[in-house]
Amino acid sequence: MKNVDFPTSNNVLVSFDTSDDAGVFLLNEDLAMVQTVDFITPVVNDAYIYGQIAAANSLSDVFAMGATVQTVLNIVAHDNCHVSQEMLSDILRGGADKVKEAGGVVLGGHTIEDLEMKYGLSVTGIVAPDKIVRNNTIKPGDKIIQTKPLGIGVITTAIKADIASENAINEAVKFMTMLNKTAAELAVEIGVNAMTDVTGFGLMGHMYEMTNSTASIVLDSSKVDIISEAMEYASIGLFPTGSWKNREHFSPFVSTPAEFDDDKLMLMFDAQTSGGLLISLPAAKAELLVEKLHKAGMDWCRIIAEVVVSNTRNIKII
């Protein structure tokens, strides 16, 4: 942010100025602390499921850094007139269940009254300093794996418009409540060059953040996984505002074939909630990781892109 002199330290290993997924602070030569915070407004009508989604979304940044979750603090803003104590308990219970699944503990939190419901977590993780996984350290020759399908933004918008099908809701909930923990652990075990999660900036935004001064990305559009019902909602323009802003901001860095399907392109800019990981690693390791992900039950994971030598940061869609 302009005109703000944020305090820093020589112990800061990763800060917000590099657009990475979380900040990292060196505690000692063997241990670093990973910190992130996120909260969202409701994306589904069920309070317990909303709590799960918000927590999974917040926890994801720690996994994307190759770290393990340790502690969390709840962040709650709610309207007492419309959110009952029972509903609030269901939200917090959903979040607590995901924190437990992540291997962390809840230390407390803070609650305020607000006109619009918001819930999320401040999350602290740990990682060895030499094991930190960054988002922009891809290398030419890498393959990039997608671990969750796209389409969550248009489906949650369809939910708000009360036109989403039961199957679309179930598919979106399945992926939004799924932690990126197992995928990240398998990736770190094999060894990766870069990793990030797909959230508010959509596939194109987060993929662009992976590029650097020596490497760009070629994306095979036929490989990109999309929840089937999302194409229907995309065709009638049910995108959240953030998706249109993503397209406006990142389009200059994206090239497409002539007459490329515009609905499919918009889905690549679609803002996701609790989306999957993008994992960049050498080609030989990529095939092995996909195999391990499939064995772990994530048979939708696939290689969607490759990294090429380039002195210009961009994404070429083929």
Q: What pLDDT sits at residue 6?
A: 87
- Residue 187 and residue 279 in contact, taking contact as beta carbons nearer than 8 Å: yes
Return the axis-axis angle of helices 241-250 and 262-269, rounded to nearest 10°.
100
In angstroms, rounded to a whole number, what is the distance separating the alpha carbons of residues 43 and 56? 13
What digits encode the pLDDT tens for the residues 132-160? Answer: 999 999 999 999 999 999 999 999 999 99
What digits encode the pLDDT tens for the residues 21-59? Answer: 899 999 999 999 999 999 999 999 999 999 999 999 999
Domains of the chain: 12-131 (3.30.1330.10), 142-317 (3.90.650.10)
Return the axis-axis angle of helices 47-64 and 181-190, rounded to nearest 10°.
10
Nearest 10 degrees: CA dihedral of 16, 75, 118, 37? 20
Q: What pLDDT sits at residue 5?
A: 84
Would the pLDDT of 18 be above 80?
no
Closest CA to 150 of 241, 267, 42: 267
- pTM for the complete prediction? 0.95
Q: What pLDDT sits at residue 1?
A: 63
Mean pLDDT (whole number) for 174-194 = 97
Q: What pLDDT sits at residue 3?
A: 84
| Burial classification of residue 253, based on how many CB atoms lie within 10 Å of its CB (0-12 exposed, 13-18 middle, 19 or more buried) | middle
Mean pLDDT (whole number) for 82-97 = 95
Query: Beta strands of 147-248 (E only): which ranges?
Result: 194-197, 215-219
